[in-house]
Amino acid sequence: MLDLYKRCWQVFLPLFALFLVGGLQAFYYLDEYKYQWVVITILLILAVICLIIGITAFVYAIRDARRKDRESKAAKDHEALKESCRRMHPEWTDAQVEIAARGR
């Protein structure tokens, strides 16, 4: 599902812009026709739907990227924290340093 979100926002945000521009152009090109407001309303509703889907997908894609980044750096951060604890308290044993680095 996250793979879908990564592609989804790249499609729906440009679609939002297209529907918005299309709705605004309907003011000019359909000026004398009776169905002008129907077309404008439909295009603007589609633009809002695309905006909501695009922003939601963008947020989920950002969250997934940040989660993957945290997971990839977790082991290095843990080792750096253990080394820092060893420097601050050289008298501690390895078990105590591990407990302090975990934060429990």
What number of other Cβ atoms are within 10 A of residue 88's Cβ?
A: 10
- pLDDT tens digits along 50-86: 999 999 988 988 898 899 888 889 888 888 888 988 8
pLDDT at 2: 64
pLDDT at 47: 92
Taking a C-beta distance cutoff of 8 angstroms, is the pair 23, 44 a contact? yes
Helices (H), the chain: 2-29, 36-88, 94-102
pLDDT at 104: 58
pTM, whole model, 2 decimals? 0.67
pLDDT at 30: 77
How many independent structural domains does the chain possess? 1
Largest CA distance in the chain: 87
In this structure, the dihedral spanned by the alpha carbons of residues 10, 14, 19 and 22, taken in order and rounded to 10 degrees, is -160
Query: Containing domain of residue 38, as a range?
Result: 2-102
pLDDT at 45: 93
